[in-house]
Amino acid sequence: MNAVNSKMNSNKGIEIVALPERVDSETARSVEQSMLDVLRPGARVVVDGSAVSYMSAAGVRSLATVLHRAHEQQARIAFCRFSGAAADCLQVSGFGLLLDVAGSIDEAAAKLHRNARGAAAESLRARHGAG
């Protein structure tokens, strides 16, 4: 998968963005823009990383940028289904602690419904204020 796909789960009012196989220096900008395109004040977005087999630091930076922008817009965002090398990249970089990562789309959607402000955005603010 080379492109980012998004779809609205109208039943739950959640936008789902499916990431491509590689999120690296060549694709990070377009991936980031695709995620930013679905953000709006109050939006609920699930970012599905199930197809991602490789993620570089540029990809992690894109996820952090989107998370920060979601916080600015009071949108809620949850990430799900990262595995293998992509999940390792998130953990090694420390972003696994920052991002609200769920095991499935349904679990991510439930987190978005449950959390009024999203734990990930609160973590970002706490770290941003500390450093």
**Domain annotation covers residue 79:** yes
Angular region, 94: left φ>0, alpha ψ -120 to 50, beta rest: left
pTM exceeds cut of 0.85:
no
pLDDT at 37: 93
> What CATH number corresponds to the domain at position 86?
3.30.750.24
pLDDT at 3: 57
Amino acid (1-letter code) at residue 19: L
Quick check: 62 and 32 in contact, CB under 8 A? yes
**Domain annotation covers residue 127:** no
**Domain annotation covers residue 116:** no
When divided into structural domains, the chain yields a total of: 1
**Domain annotation covers residue 54:** yes
- CA gap 55, 25 in Å, rounded: 9
What DSSP character marks residue 54?
A: E
Q: What is the pLDDT of residues 76-98, one digit of tens each?
A: 999 999 999 888 888 888 887 77
Instruction: Using the predicted structure, report yes or no on whether residue 8 has a pLDDT greater than 90.
Output: no
Report which of residues 96 and 112 the model is more confident about. Answer: 112
Dihedral, 124, 61, 16, 111 alpha carbons, nearest 10: -20
Q: What is the pLDDT of residues 51-84, one digit of tens each?
A: 999 999 999 999 999 999 999 999 999 999 999 9
Report which of residues 103 and 116 the model is more confident about. Answer: 103
Q: Strands 44-48, 14-18: parallel, antiparallel or unpaired by DSSP? A: parallel
The parent domain of residue 71 ranges over 12-108
**Domain annotation covers residue 76:** yes
* Over residues 87-115, mean pLDDT: 85
What are the residues whose beta carbons fall under 8 Å from the beta carbon of 103, sequence distance 6 or more?
80, 81
Q: What is the pLDDT of residues 17-45, one digit of tens each?
A: 999 999 999 999 999 999 999 999 999 99
**Domain annotation covers residue 124:** no
